[in-house]
Amino acid sequence: MKRILTVLCLAAILLVGSTAASHAQNVKWIVGGNMLLSIETGGFGGASAGFTFGPMAEVVFSKQFAIGTEFNINTQAGTPIEWADYFKYYITVKGSTLKPYADAGINLMFVTGGPYFGIRFGGGVLFNVAKSIYIGPDLQLGPIFATGSTIFFILIRGGFRYEIG
């Protein structure tokens, strides 16, 4: 019992400390969009490829940590629509304008038969093309737990981002 209490107290202290640190930083918003290729395997009768596009937004709490959401429309059979929330970690590259990142999160896939829960992870790199404007490739993948089967979803796409603030 003491061990559990100690772990909970340490977690609370870290949470309060990280919240105070995030208020001290300049919080930035990033908005943009993604588009290109989506691949769906298993679940609804084999594999299919399609086009994906949609808007995104994220809040950057420091130079490295962000929380975001995106809404993707795909052109496979049934027109799957994905709503994803994620935690993003930007990797610092000294002396470079590149912004590589890794992310992980959860998603809901709205397709015939109901909304299905999924887990996604991936990463990419952003190239600075103008002040506060970035473009770059992105790869997202993960399972979606459909009724009676599991679908594996892969997004290979390009994106554009605009930093506000």
Q: What is the model's pTM?
A: 0.80
Residue 140: inside a domain: yes
Contact between 127 and 135 (Cβ < 8 Å): yes
Task: Among 18-22, 30-34, 151-155, name the one with the lowest average pLDDT.
Answer: 18-22
Residue 14: inside a domain: no
Domain count, the chain: 1
* Banded pLDDT at 21 (limits 50, 70, 90): very low
Boundaries of domain holding 82: 27-164
Residue 132: inside a domain: yes
- 156: CATH: 2.40.160.20
Residue 11: inside a domain: no
* CA torsion angle 133 87 109 77 (round to 10): 40
Contact between 36 and 156 (Cβ < 8 Å): yes
Instruction: Please tell me the predicted confidence (pLDDT) of residue 149.
Output: 83
18-27 burial: b if 16+ Cβ within 10 Å, else e: eeeeeeeeee
pLDDT in tens, 94-139: 998 899 999 999 999 998 778 999 999 999 999 999 999 999 999 9
Residue 3: inside a domain: no
Residue 17: inside a domain: no
Residue 9: inside a domain: no
Average pLDDT, the chain: 86
Contact between 88 and 106 (Cβ < 8 Å): no
Residue 22: inside a domain: no
Helix or strand holding residue 136 (H, E): strand 133-146
Report DSSP letters for 9-56, one per residue. Answer: HHHHHHHHHHHHHHHHS--EEEEEEEEEEEEEESSSSS-EEEEEEEEE
